[in-house]
Structure 1
Amino acid sequence: MTVRLLPFVLAASMFLGACAQQESAEPSSVPAPAASEAAAPTAAVPEAVDGPAASGTASPSGATAPAAPNNNPVVPPEGPAPVAGTDYAEITGGQPFAPAMGKIEVVEVFGYTCPHCAAFEPIFEAWKSRQPADVKVVALAAPFGGYWEPYARAYYAAESLGVLEQSHDDVFRAVHVERSMPQPPKVASNDEIAAFYVKYGVDADKFASTMSSFGVNGKLKRAAQFLTRSGVQSTPDLVVNGKYRVTGGQSFEDRLRIADHLVAMERAAMAPADTAEPAESSPADDTAAAE
């Protein structure tokens, strides 16, 4: 899944760009973490560039399985090692969002209404395609409330109805390029968003009702709990194995470089300890044993 943007738009948006939680225009049914920074201004509207989209596989857990082939090699991270407290924050008692045996989870927290997320998406997708089999990439739509929440509901409803892969790029494009979907700060209704998904063969009423379904409500609650536990207050954000949140980096690529180091740290921590070789015996030991 990729959103194709012109280079000048990426350059304008990539430097420490983030969209913070907006104050809700209407009460949200999902608790959201309080924002500690002002909302980022809306970036210039990107233009789309035609091209084939990358593919992935949706999973029932709310995650999007990585498109990376299993034979990707493990490559040592580049650049200097990140510094705790500057480049990343350690999450006390943190746990992965969707644990999987032998996997190192990287959660990408995003929002469809966030222009920086739209700029980050193609860079992140390229990074994801290079990951080896032990890295599990999870996409998490942030239910921050206000105009964020309906689009988060749309993401999880599209996943539940099997149209996420076809629609993901197009939602970014409709919001930030075509501006054909409700624009912030307007809080879109379920029916307004459902009308967009008709083109993917989904009945509008069914999509709207799925957005408010028990299953989607559960996914939003679980996502909100993870964001609160991890200290996520803006998008795009990266959380590695539930233990580390990337906080530094001079560009989106630099943030991914930090993520590479954190993944390598987790890989080393998960590796089995080397079997210790028995110590060589001394002559005195041999004599005592004989006695």
Structure 2
Amino acid sequence: MAKELEKFKAEHKKLAAGTKTYTTAEGAKLKKRVGISLGNAWEGEDYFRESLAKARKDGVESKKLADLQKNKSFKDGLTTWNKAVDIHQKELDAMLGFCSNAKAHLAKLDKLLADIGKDLKKRSKTSASKKDIEALQDKLAKETAEVKKAAQYEGKLNAAQKFYAANFQKTVARILKESDESQDKKLDATELPQLLVDRNLKKYTNQVGVLAKAINAHCVSAIEKAGQDLKAAVPDLKAAEAKYKDLKKINDQYQTVKKKFPGKINDSKDKKKLLATLKKFNDVTTAAERKLRGTKVTIKKAAV
């Protein structure tokens, strides 16, 4: 019954290209792109608010979209935001398409697995092909599990990632209905560099805190493991170094913004808060670098 084995191998080979395509790594990459494009769309919304506020200062009192679009600043803001939303929608479509195709491919893998399972049930223990078919079954089972995980990445998207683009027109209408006073309050934030707007500042403040804790935890773990086995400390040490690179990258970005836009920061109503946060980022990064350096010295001494 070697012909069944060859048949299964042939079907497996036909599915190989798709199996290599629908991986969790690819799903994670597409999800990340959706997140980045949403962030850009949010920045586009901030820019649109700024453009609307400027249009009000230019004397445009109407809340009608047609009237506002006669103002160059407003039209530019809306166009920029719209493009960012379109890009986000394309990234979302790519993600959803990937998951849909992965599910279709998964169905083919499941069918082949089922066919192999049926064959093995009726195959005698003395069959010369039995071990080879079982080996193919094991390999296929692992591949199927991977594709199944990849197909589920759609479920990892949050509501904003899924529906922000779909709600674009409603969001435009809602913003236009906001009072002039409300727009004026938001203008200060939108005139700041994007890294300093409240939404981004909160996001990176959280990231800095998480990274700092992770670095400390890895350093503590590395020293504890080094006391027993120096090699055992290496993974934690490398993990701490990687986290520190991420932390330093964030801090470097913010310190650059501080140097490039001192006027914007000084003119902001949130000046004290911004300066305090930037100082905290720098202090946390310095402390993390000191912790990492101290950990390396301690482990190096233990090796002597």
* TM-score by shorter chain over 0.5: no
TM-score, L = length of structure 2: 0.21
Query: Which structure has greater strand proportion?
Result: 1
TM-score, L = length of structure 1: 0.22
Task: Indicate the structure (1 or 2) with the bigger Cα radius of gyration.
Answer: 2
